[in-house]
Amino acid sequence: MNKIYIISGPAGVGKSTTSKGLAEQFDHSAYIEGDLINHMVVGGYLPPWKSEESSSLIWENIADLSINFLQANKTVII
């Protein structure tokens, strides 16, 4: 059974490095980088800390990607 790992913390503490390293430990894994999802919105962009709508959209997209990867038998690291 595949799992989802969520790595969280303040800026600059090594979340991305840790997440990528963790993802490499699995034979079948996917790494979802929240900042990349956030930066997909260009026109009308508002930072997630200024807009509940932006924050919700980011997490909805992360959830949908996670489901897709789990259905493809991947362990997901966010």
Locus of tokens 């996670």: 66
Helices (H) and strands (E) counted in the chain, each on its own, are 3, 3
> What is the C-alpha separation between 76 and 78, in angstroms, rounded?
6
Contact predicate 66/78, CB 8 Å: yes
pTM of the complete model: 0.85
- pLDDT for res 71: 96
In this prediction, residue 35 carries a pLDDT of: 87
Q: Which residues of 44-55 are buried (b: 16+ CB within 10 A; e: fewer)?
A: eeeebeeeeebe
pLDDT, tens digit (0-9, with 9 covering 90-100), for 11-62: 889 999 999 999 999 999 999 998 899 888 888 888 878 888 888 899 999 9
Q: What is the pLDDT of residue 11?
A: 82
